[in-house]
Amino acid sequence: MAILVWLLLPVLFTDYTVAEKQSAFFIFGDSTVDAGNNNFIQTIPENKANYDPYGRNAPFQGPTGRFSDGLIVVDYLAEYAKLPMIPPFLDPSTSDDLSHGANFASGGSGILSTTNEGQAIDLNTQLKYFEQVAESLTTKMGASEAEQIISNAVYYFSIGSNDYLGGYLANPNMQQLYHPEQYVGMVLGNLTSSIQELYKKGARKFGFLGLSPLGCLPVMRSIAQEGCFEQANSLALAHNNALTTLLNNLEYLLKDFKYSNSDFYTWLLQRINDPSTYGFKEGKNACCGSGPFGGIFSCGGMKETTAYDLCEEADDYVWWDSFHPTQRIHQHFAQALWDGPQTTATLGPYSLRDLFFGPTTIADVVDADHPTF
Ligand SMILES: *[C@@H]1O[C@H](CO)[C@@H](O)[C@H](O)[C@H]1NC(C)=O
């Protein structure tokens, strides 16, 4: 029966080329893109978001483990790519059919396995989970069909913040062992290994969410003497610059390697410093939290005795809690990533739309993505 349906598919789909080209979406990262994996691991309360008021503005009921008042950037990207919502890999209710992709991200995780060790799913483990998915696709669909899905899929990374915040700035031992520039090199070295490993397995299309201005997170602003915590911003900038160079080099070295990079740092700083220009009212204070700038990470009373403040209208805010932006920021950023180079968000060379659907013609690529100066 299955074989019969499969044979009929080309006839049934009037728009066969689109169906054939639909790309799966595999997500690796930290709390910026965790859709609920941490609900299923043993960890500290700070690494979970499956309680009120998380998710209170989501278009579905209740908190899901997303570190937002609603949806997160990858939910919007999946919608624009005409995919179903990409499920958390560890959720037992997730279907076995992962041919549309899977989300491996875990709040608190880092690129280095030493970052928040034992409290999150580190990047290496996330890659092992992907390997399991690749094997099960091969078993279910056969090698050539699985290879097709893997080479056509988009691999999205949003990770690194925890390596610099918890892993370095809050870790005097690490600061003794490594100068900041050595540490950045080590983080990027490990990220490079992960990219190469996926490439060896057939991955070709990659997307990257650059680090935000980490020193301007409400939690970091609250411990800075004045303004943003500059050392955290410097590390984020150094990381983002190194990532841009790395990706540019990989494009030369790895055949058919395609990527979309983004400047979340500049894009978000514009909204933090000048919220009203972008349709927000508050750029510095968190909607949910306590203390100066809502910088004490107590949203939802995760530490039981801690009281917390909650704003009325999260849509007016850049920051939802002490570490994470609001759903509205996630949505605006997803739109900018999708639309591509005409926004400050996308560094290119491809937009997310290009990665999922392919540029329409060679001329489009030349015009839009590789402008000649
Ligand atoms: C990856 O990180 C570890 C520390 O966690 C370090 O010892 C190793 O050298 C790094 N690898 C690369 C390729 O930079």
Is 370 annotated in the active site?
Answer: no
- Which among 135, 113, 76 is positioned nearest to 189, based on CA atoms? 113
| CATH number for the domain that contains residue 133 | 3.40.50
Question: Does residue 143 lie in a domain region?
Answer: yes
Q: Residue 312 falls within a domain, yes or no?
A: no
Residue nearest to atom 9 of ligand 1 (CA): 186
185 alpha carbon to ligand 1 midpoint, in Å? 9
SS3 99: coil
Ligand 1 atom 5 nearest Cα: 112
pLDDT value at residue 4: 44
Q: Are strands 258-262 and 346-349 parallel, antiparallel or unpaired?
A: antiparallel
Q: What is the pTM of this model?
A: 0.90
Q: Is residue 316 part of a domain?
A: no
- Report whether pLDDT(3) > 70: no
Tell me the CB-side half-sphere exposure of residue 61, using CA atoms within 13 A: 0
Check pocket membership of 242 for ligand 1, CB cut-off 6 A. no
- Domain contains 118: yes
Q: Is residue 39 part of a domain?
A: yes
What is the Å distance from ligand 1's center to 190 Cα?
6
Least confident window among 142-156, 216-230, 295-309: 295-309
Mutate to test the pocket of ligand 1, among 186, 187, 188 (most ligand atoms within 8 A of CB): 186
Check whether 365 has a pLDDT greater than 70: no
Kindly give the distance from the C-alpha atom of residue 189 to the centroid of ligand 1, in angstroms, as a whole number.
Answer: 6
**Whole domain around residue 63: which residue ranges?**
23-275+329-340
The answer to whether residue 4 is domain-embedded is no
Cα of 168 from ligand 1 centre, angstroms: 14
Task: Determine contact, residues 348/367, Cβ cutoff 8 Å.
Answer: no
Q: Is residue 13's pLDDT more than 80? A: no
- The two three-digit tokens of residue 296, written as one number: 């004490």
What is the total count of domains within the chain? 1
- Active-site residue, 321 included: yes
Task: Determine which residue's CA is closest to atom 6 belonging to ligand 1.
Answer: 186
Catalytic residue among 31, 68, 106, 351: 31
Q: Which of 239, 324, 330, 332 is catalytic?
A: 324
Calculate what percentage of the chain has a pLDDT beyond 70: 89
Residue 10 falls within a domain, yes or no?
no
What is the C-alpha separation between 109 and 321, in angstroms, rounded? 18
Tell me if residue 210 falls in helix, strand or coil: coil
Cα distances (angstroms) measured from residue 287 to each of 183, 201, 225, 275, 324: 33, 42, 22, 14, 10
Would residue 291 count as lying in a domain? no
Mean pLDDT of 220-246: 96
Q: Please report which confidence band the pLDDT of residue 2 belongs to, taking 50, 70 and 90 as the band edges.
A: very low
Determine the pLDDT at residue 370. Answer: 43
